[in-house]
């Protein structure tokens, strides 16, 4: 307990020096590009940037499923040789009247055999008046909503990361909202455009027979062209190839036209479907639909079996790059609406940094003065350990490139206060042992032994509490819990190892009869 070997002392000093080296990138410029240069990232409240509150359009999730369910119902009935009348899509169900009363049982049997995306997704019933209803269940709707918000968060993260934003914070709020914090981005218009685009790409055959018709036939929808000057185009509702099967997309310049284009590649499933559709529909037009707008509708000249293709449409370089980014990241399950937007200027962030640094410095100075006045030499050893504690906290945050926010700075200040408590406990224990008449060596030995278990117990409970805050908290709470958790670990090291080593080395060198405490 009261002996430190050379190896142990070298190890303690080595940890402190490594911590100091890891701190340096936060205060000086990188001298050589090849040197690893890990720094603490500043959060939105310190660096400035943009705050977006997005809301997932859950009604669109239900509407999309009802639309596909309507098409599945029509295809299932026709496939089984069954007819229908007045097929309509309601708020939560698809309804129709059987062609003949004698076909009602066959209709119900065929529809109940349709595949479901989730268990018990829909129920098929017949009313006394003969109306058949395919209704979505409440539990399936709730499950789809939960899946939609989870998928939206992941896709938003992919899109934000692809823009090169440094350390964005993306968190969920409530049942259908997403918070996006973008430090350092004061003009979020491009990001808003990327997040506001659903990027749901599908491939449909064009219903040439319905061109010029004011009222499209069943199973056909009239969609606008992306270039409004080209008017509209009728396409079949059935999705022949889904853009969800894309594996890659990239922007490039078309060698023939010299215009920007987007090249895409399908996975094995998409490639097989794409090849089959193009093989059986040579001579027909194939529409590429993005977010309910037809980008282009080329004529299928030959079967395309390579699983890749190209989209052209008079894109600029930025438009082609953004479209490729959106297709790579995947389509949102539902549109996202920006319901709140705030911008924090860099000057406000600089003011916050100054205020936080001043409070941290003031607290540190007051603690140092207090320890020096009340505990003399041992108080100064505690102050050295306190400074090492601050250095090690910054070093660990830098090593993991953590994000520092105002609550995080408050956590650092609180950690310094908690660190002093441990040193005070040790010094007070030593004073008690001296008052009982023990020698200097015995007082130090007993003071350390009796205080250590108390310090470990108190810090262990605090550590568990803040770990739970970090796991279950969000935003500012998480930043606060992170710095406190790291601070507790560094406090145990600097208090029970570093400050004790300084006191023990002083005693071994001077052999005093009276302790300066």
In this predicted structure, what is the pLDDT of residue 488?
A: 92
pLDDT in tens, 57-81: 888 888 888 888 888 898 898 888 8
Closest to 237 measured CA to CA, from 126, 375, 101, 73: 73
Q: How many CB atoms sit inside 10 A of residue 295's CB?
A: 19
Domain 58-141 has CATH 1.10.8: no
Q: What is the DSSP letter of 206?
A: B
Query: Is CATH 3.30.1360.200 correct for 197-343?
Result: yes
Domain ranges in the chain? Answer: 6-45+345-510, 58-141, 197-343
What span, in angstroms and rounded, lies between the C-alpha atoms of 42 and 47? 5
Structure tokens at 70: 């309507």
> Which residue has tokens 């995306």?
117
**Predicted local distance difference test score (pLDDT) of residue 388:** 93
What pLDDT is stored for residue 17 in this prediction?
93
Written out in words, the top-level CATH class of the domain with range 6-45+345-510 is mainly alpha
| 208: CB partners within 8 A, 6+ apart | 284, 285
Written as six digits, the tokens of 330 are 């995947």
Any idea how long the chain is?
517
Tell how far CA 148 is from the center of its chain: 14
Supply the pLDDT for residue 119: 78
How confident is the model at residue 507, as a pLDDT? 86
Strand 246-253 relative to strand 220-224, pairing: unpaired
The whole-number pLDDT of residue 186 equals 65
- In this prediction, residue 164 carries a pLDDT of 73
pLDDT means over runs of 10, the chain (517 residues): 78 92 88 81 78 86 85 88 87 89 89 84 88 88 83 86 78 85 76 78 88 82 86 89 83 82 85 88 88 86 82 80 81 83 69 77 86 88 91 92 83 84 86 86 85 87 89 79 91 90 87 79
What pLDDT score was predicted for residue 414? Answer: 85
Closest by CA to 372, choosing from 412, 422, 427, 416, is 427
Measured torsion, CA atoms of residues 482, 483, 488, 491, in degrees rounded to the nearest 10: 160
Q: How do beta strands 41-42 and 403-404 pair?
A: parallel
Q: What is the pLDDT of residue 346?
A: 61
Calculate Rg over the CA atoms of the chain. Answer: 34
Q: Which residues contact 388 (CB under 8 A, 6 or more apart)?
A: 16, 19, 494, 498
Which tokens go with 421? Answer: 């408590």
Phi, psi dihedrals of residue 223, rounded to the nearest 5° = -115, 145
Contact predicate 329/36, CB 8 Å: no
């Amino acid at each position: 307990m009261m002996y430190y070997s050379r190896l142990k002392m070298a190890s303690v000093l080595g940890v402190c020096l490594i911590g100091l080296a890891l701190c340096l990138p936060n205060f000086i410029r990188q001298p050589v590009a090849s040197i690893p240069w890990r720094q603490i990232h500043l959060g939105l409240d310190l660096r400035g940037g943009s705050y977006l509150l997005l809301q997932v359009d859950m009604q669109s999730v239900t509407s999309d499923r009802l639309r596909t369910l309507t098409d599945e119902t029509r295809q299932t009935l026709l496939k089984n040789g069954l007819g229908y009348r007045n097929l309509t899509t309601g708020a939560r169900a698809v309804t129709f009247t059987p062609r003949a009363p004698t076909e009602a049982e066959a209709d119900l049997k065929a529809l109940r055999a349709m595949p479901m995306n989730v268990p018990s997704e829909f129920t098929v019933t017949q009313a006394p008046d003969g109306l058949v209803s395919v209704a979505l269940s409440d539990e399936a709707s709730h499950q789809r909503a939960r899946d939609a918000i989870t998928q939206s968060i992941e896709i938003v993260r992919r899109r934000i990361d692809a823009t090169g934003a440094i350390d964005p914070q993306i968190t969920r709020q409530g049942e259908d909202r997403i918070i996006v914090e973008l430090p350092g981005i004061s003009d979020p218009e491009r990001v808003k455009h990327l997040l506001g685009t659903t990027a749901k790409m599908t491939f449909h055959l064009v219903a040439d027979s319905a061109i010029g018709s004011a009222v499209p036939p069943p199973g056909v929808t009239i969609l606008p062209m992306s270039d409004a000057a080209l008017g509209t185009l009728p396409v079949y509702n059935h999705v022949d190839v889904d853009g969800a099967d894309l594996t890659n997309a990239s922007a490039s310049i078309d060698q023939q036209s010299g215009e920007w284009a987007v090249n895409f590649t399908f996975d094995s499933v998409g490639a097989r479907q794409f090849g089959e559709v193009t093989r059986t529909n040579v001579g027909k037009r194939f529409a590429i639909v993005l977010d309910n707008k037809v980008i282009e509708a080329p004529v299928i000249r030959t079967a395309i079996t390579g699983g890749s293709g190209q989209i052209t449409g008079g894109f600029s370089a930025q438009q082609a790059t953004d479209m490729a980014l959106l297709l790579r990241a995947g389509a949102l399950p539902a549109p996202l609406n920006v319901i709140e937007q705030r911008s924090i200027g860099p000057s406000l962030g600089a003011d916050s940094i100054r205020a936080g640094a001043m409070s941290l410095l003031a607290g540190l100075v007051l603690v140092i003065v207090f320890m020096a006045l009340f505990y003399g030499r041992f108080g100064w050893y505690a102050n050295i350990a306190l400074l090492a504690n601050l250095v090690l906290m910054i070093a660990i945050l830098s090593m993991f490139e953590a994000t520092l926010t105002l609550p995080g700075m408050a956590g650092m200040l609180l950690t310094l206060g908690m660190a002093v408590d441990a040193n005070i406990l040790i010094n007070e224990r030593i004073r008690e042992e001296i008052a009982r008449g023990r020698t200097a060596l015995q007082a130090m030995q007993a003071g350390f032994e009796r205080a250590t278990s108390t310090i470990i117990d108190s810090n262990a409970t605090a550590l568990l509490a803040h770990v739970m805050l970090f796991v279950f908290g969000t935003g500012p709470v998480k930043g606060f819990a992170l710095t406190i958790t790291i601070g507790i670990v560094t406090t145990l090291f600097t208090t029970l190892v570093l400050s004790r080593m300084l006191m023990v080395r002083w005693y071994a060198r001077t052999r005093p009869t009276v302790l300066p405490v």
